[in-house]
């Protein structure tokens, strides 16, 4: 895919659009991206198979509770920042319905590849490789923005929070 404004080329893979220029992966972001690329399979097993059983569903109920707080309506367009293996995505799809769209962004391609298993070719989920501190979206284009468990390792934490506010409708 070629951008007509910056004239750069971006990779589009089977289920992920890669909008991450290499210069936006540095410091802690590079270190943790490499960690999550290596650990994606274990993370998937832990969060999608083991933790839901061992917490008797409490972890899933907690995620549902966070999503409920966003007051998402059917047909909304929502963003899950640092979506990882997509553990929040089913709860978001449940809210927006087939008329809405769920975007998931993450630095790690290894993690994003597992989201395909969760969404099973749902057409209204768009996965993008991007840095949370440099979101490739226009101002105010999402009805809701969610982030769960990742900002503690981000290289540019304050910028990431500003970016989440910037892309959310006021």
Interface with ligand SAM, residue 108, by CB under 6 A = yes
What are the start-end ranges of the H helices in 105-156?
A: 109-119
Choosing from 91, 92, 102, 106, the residue that interacts with ligand SAM (CB under 6 A) is: 106
Q: How many residues in the chain?
A: 170
Residue nearest to ligand SAM (CB): 84
Task: Give the binding range for ligand SAM (CB under 6 A) out of 25-33, 51-59, 118-126, 161-169.
Answer: 25-33
Tracing tokens 């007509």 back to the chain, one arrives at 4
Interface with ligand SAM, residue 104, by CB under 6 A = no
Choosing from 15, 77, 124, 153, the residue that interacts with ligand SAM (CB under 6 A) is: 153
Choosing from 29, 76, 143, 163, the residue that interacts with ligand SAM (CB under 6 A) is: 29
Interface with ligand SAM, residue 67, by CB under 6 A = no
Strand 101-106: give its sheet, edge to edge.
11-12, 16-18, 125-129, 101-106, 77-81, 144-147
Burial zone of 65 (CB within 10 Å; 0-12 exposed, 13-18 middle, 19+ buried): exposed
């Amino acid at each position: 895919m070629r951008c007509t404004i910056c004239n750069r080329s971006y990779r589009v893979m089977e289920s992920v659009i890669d909008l991450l220029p290499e210069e936006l992966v540095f410091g802690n972001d590079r270190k943790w991206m490499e960690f999550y690329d290596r650990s994606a399979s274990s993370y998937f097993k832990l969060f999608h198979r083991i933790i839901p059983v061992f917490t008797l569903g409490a972890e899933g109920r907690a995620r549902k509770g966070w999503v409920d707080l966003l007051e998402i309506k059917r047909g909304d367009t929502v963003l899950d920042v640092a979506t990882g293996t997509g553990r929040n995505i089913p709860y978001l799809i449940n809210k927006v319905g087939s008329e809405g769209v769920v975007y998931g962004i993450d630095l790690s391609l290894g993690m994003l590849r597992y989201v395909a298993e969760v969404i099973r070719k749902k057409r209204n989920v768009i996965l993008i490789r991007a840095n949370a501190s440099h979101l490739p979206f226009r101002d105010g284009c999402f009805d809701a923005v969610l982030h769960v468990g990742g900002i503690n390792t981000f290289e540019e934490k304050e910028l990431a929070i500003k970016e989440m506010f910037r892309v959310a409708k006021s």
